[in-house]
Amino acid sequence: MANSLNLPSDFKLSSPKTWFRAATAVNSTVLLGRKHLYILPTRFGWLYSLLLVGLLVGSINYSLSLGFAMTFLLAGLGTISMLHTWRNLAYLKITFRRAKPVFAGEIAQFELVVANENNFARYNIFASFTGGESDVQDIAALGENSFKLSLISQKRGWLSAPRVRFSTEFPVSLFHVWAYAETKSQCLIYPNPGLPSQRLPSADADGASGQLSSSQGDEDFAGHRHYQFGDSPKRVDWKASSREQGLLVKQFQGEATSTLWLDFNATTGSNLEQRISQLTRWVLEADKQALKYGLRLPQQSIQPSTGRNHYHQCLTALAIM
């Protein structure tokens, strides 16, 4: 029935969101073609139509030539504005950029780039997720602009962006044109970190191992790190600490350093999410203190390392666990 009436393939009378076609991605680009655009008069458009009807009835009753001329002139201007409003949104190309990961409970931001391949500018283009706040931009002729749309993340894992609604009422707000675009864009949501009181395990505690490793150099100064319980007071850089930078400890190349293992079996949470949350807190603390750490999970083990890539690798493993 839906195909015979040229309706969307997923059309359901009981589900209004399926009543309209949505443009889908082809080679990672979405094109807002003719069959994806819908147009209706705005409130001002309906009032404008009533005004035209009133002018026409009055002109007929009183045989006013000037009234007929005014009626047809305004009707023509309204028709032209409808064409320009439709053209303001038609044939825009949308590309979705990769969203940056955030922690559960934070706002995930999706960025999409809208390109205009025609030689006339587009004005007052609105983009929004269903029920979300809109971002409005102008797009220059043969140019492009980026829209940033936000969603509140609720749980760890992959957050898929819903369909995006594009709309405009330019130039005179007599007509409202809109279209929907489906996106396969996703944002990785890291687990919500546990409480700051969940301190890192010591190197000789259950689930963590201290493994000495040495690097070349004869006690050459290599920088600072934050003070940890048990550090020798002789290593504290009191001058740097006095500049309100926190309690800092000197690090030297060639000294023995410990490797920390963050083990799922060493966590104390009462359920899976609490234990993952505790591991997330440990990863944050180990990265903050510039420690060399590894991560042991029930079905995966990440070898000890440091740096931002290792940090994101550990959080990704926890997010999709």
**Among 258, 270, 127, 156, residue whose Cα is nearest residue 203:** 258
Contact, 160 vs 245, CB < 8 A?
Answer: no
**pLDDT, tens digit, 9 for 90 and up, residues 29-88:** 999 999 999 999 999 999 999 999 999 999 999 989 999 999 999 999 999 999 999 999
Range 163-202 burial, b when 16+ CB lie within 10 A, else e = ebbbbbbbebbbbbbbbbbebebbbbbbbbbbeeebebbe
| Residue 258 reports pLDDT greater than 70 | no
Q: Rounded to the nearest 5°, which phi and psi values hold at 319?
A: -70, -40
**pTM of the entire predicted model:** 0.75
pLDDT, mean over the chain: 84
How far is it, in rounded angstroms, from Cα 41 to Cα 107?
35
How far is it, in rounded angstroms, from Cα 17 to Cα 132?
15
Q: Which superfamily does CATH assign the domain made up of 1-189 to? A: Immunoglobulins (2.60.40.10)
How far is it, in rounded angstroms, from Cα 296 to Cα 306?
15
pLDDT for residue 177: 96
Residue ranges of the chain that CATH labels 2.60.40.10: 1-189
Determine which of 64-73, 117-126, 196-205, 260-269 has the lowest per-residue pLDDT on average: 196-205
**pLDDT, tens digit, 9 for 90 and up, residues 79-126:** 999 999 999 999 999 999 889 999 999 999 999 999 999 999 999 999
| Residue 172 reports pLDDT greater than 90 | yes
Q: What single-letter DSSP state applies at residue 63?
A: T
How far is it, in rounded angstroms, from Cα 102 to Cα 153?
8
